[in-house]
């Protein structure tokens, strides 16, 4: 093996994924990167996931399995991956998704070139996602990643985008899916995932990295095939609850920019919009603009006028 090929850790969290974990492990095992390890953290599954992982592990000695003795949640499982990873870089694969065989090589190339020009900046790297529902691709649900083109978003502008949806002009904005992320291990060790966020942990990570002048980049290709599933953490009010929790955690930053209450109302607006309640959504957005007229209203006007 060439000496200049760094070890990359593929990290997979697993919870009650007996129907899909074999696909995820196959996707990891078929990567064309020659120097990799695969860490699977089972978050106290109640189904047959562990047995399936152990059977596949017998055929692939690159797989290491760690089992939580109680269910700790997704971010805690991610932290366990970071804790045990030996790789210079960590790439997270979801337990129900497919990944293109060259995902690691393309993300590593993107990261390496960027780090040559920005050696001191923390950086997170993503990729676009194709979306499948019930085995059928939904092109209209294609998910673009943040930072796919130069100039890449960085610093507090990214915190503003996440917390109150302000888009600085001239940048490529998109999603922060943890299942598409690759990052230097040292960055993930420094920042970690907040275990309180069973949902939106990747957004909280991104805010904290952004506020330390972090950079956000992506491979401008779909390298992940996402299989959409409905889970309990996505149901009911939970998306709204975690959106509010995120803003409350970063309250001091939002208050400093005079947009805290406006950001709270924007979270309600987006929640009602995606629940098919347009009038409630518009009302919350109007109130947000009234409470933060020099910030949120100005940005909404800029969006509509181009």
Which bin fits 165, alpha (ψ -120 to 50), beta or left (φ > 0)?
left
Distances (CA, A) of 32 to 10, 102, 164, 223: 13, 6, 39, 13
Question: In the prediction, which pLDDT does 229 show?
Answer: 67
Q: H/E element holding 302?
A: helix 298-305
Question: In the prediction, which pLDDT does 28 show?
Answer: 98
The burial class, CB within 10 Å (0-12 / 13-18 / 19+), for 170 is exposed
Q: 12 with 28: CB under 8 angstroms? A: yes
Question: In the prediction, which pLDDT does 2 show?
Answer: 53
Q: Is residue 2 part of a domain?
A: no
Which residues, 6 or more positions from 298, have their beta carbon under 8 angstroms from its beta carbon?
none
Give the tokens for residue 254: 């939002």
Same domain, 88 and 104: yes
Same domain, 192 and 227: yes
Q: Is residue 143 part of a domain?
A: yes
Q: H/E element holding 108?
A: helix 103-117
Residues paired with residue 72 on neighbouring β-strands, in sequence order: none
Per-residue pLDDT tens, the chain, 306 aa: give them. Answer: 456 899 999 999 999 999 999 999 999 999 999 999 999 999 999 999 999 999 999 999 999 999 999 999 999 999 999 999 999 999 999 999 999 999 999 999 999 999 999 999 999 999 999 999 988 999 999 999 999 999 999 999 999 999 999 999 999 899 999 999 999 999 999 999 999 999 999 999 999 999 999 999 999 999 999 998 655 445 679 999 999 999 999 999 999 999 999 999 999 999 999 999 999 999 999 999 888 866 776 666 556 555
Same domain, 32 and 170: yes
Q: Is residue 170 part of a domain?
A: yes
Between CA 211 and CA 269 the distance in angstroms is: 25
Question: In the prediction, which pLDDT does 211 show?
Answer: 98
Same domain, 182 and 237: no
Q: 95 with 42: CB under 8 angstroms? A: no
Domain tally, the chain: 2
The burial class, CB within 10 Å (0-12 / 13-18 / 19+), for 132 is middle
pLDDT digits (tens, 9 = 90+) for 143-156: 999 999 999 999 99
Same domain, 239 and 122: no
Give the tokens for residue 166: 């302000």
Q: Which of 143, 152, 215 is nearest to 183 (CA)?
A: 215
CATH number at residue 74: 3.90.550.10
Q: Which domain holds residue 283?
A: 233-305
Q: H/E element holding 191?
A: helix 185-191
Question: In the prediction, which pLDDT does 233 show?
Answer: 47
Q: Is residue 3 part of a domain?
A: no
Question: In the prediction, which pLDDT does 4 show?
Answer: 83
Same domain, 218 and 245: no
Distances (CA, A) of 27 to 46, 198, 223: 23, 25, 11
Give the tokens for residue 253: 């930053």
Question: In the prediction, which pLDDT does 1 show?
Answer: 46
């Amino acid at each position: 093996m060439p000496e200049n090929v760094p070890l990359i850790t593929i990290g997979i969290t697993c919870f009650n994924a007996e129907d899909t974990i074999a696909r995820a492990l196959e996707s990891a095992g078929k990567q064309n990167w020659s120097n990799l390890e695969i860490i699977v953290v089972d978050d106290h599954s109640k189904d047959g996931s562990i047995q399936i992982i152990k059977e596949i592990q017998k055929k692939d000695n690159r797989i290491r399995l760690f089992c939580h003795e109680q269910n700790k949640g997704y971010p805690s499982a991610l932290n366990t991956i970071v804790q045990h990873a030996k790789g210079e870089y960590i790439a997270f694969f979801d337990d129900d998704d497919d990944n293109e065989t060259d995902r690691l090589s393309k993300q590593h190339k993107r990261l390496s070139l960027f780090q040559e020009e920005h050696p001191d900046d923390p950086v997170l790297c993503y990729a676009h996602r194709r979306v499948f529902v019930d085995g059928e691709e939904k092109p209209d649900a294609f998910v673009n990643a943040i930072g796919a083109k130069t100039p890449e978003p960085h610093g507090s502008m990214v915190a503003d985008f996440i917390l109150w949806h302000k888009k600085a002009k001239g940048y490529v904005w998109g999603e922060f899916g943890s299942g598409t992320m690759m990052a230097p291990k040292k960055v993930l060790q420094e920042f970690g995932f907040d275990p309180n966020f069973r949902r939106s942990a990747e957004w909280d990570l991104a805010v904290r990295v952004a506020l330390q002048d972090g950079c956000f980049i992506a491979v401008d290709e779909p390298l992940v095939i996402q299989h959409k599933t409905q889970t309990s953490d996505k149901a009911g009010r939970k998306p709204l609850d975690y959106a509010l929790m995120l803003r409350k955690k970063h309250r001091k930053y939002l208050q400093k920019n005079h947009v805290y209450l406006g950001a709270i109302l924007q979270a309600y607006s987006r929640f009602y919009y995606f629940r098919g309640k347009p009038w409630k959504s518009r009302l919350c957005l109007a109130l947000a603009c009234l409470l933060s007229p020099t910030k949120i209203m100005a940005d909404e006007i800029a969006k509509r006028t181009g």
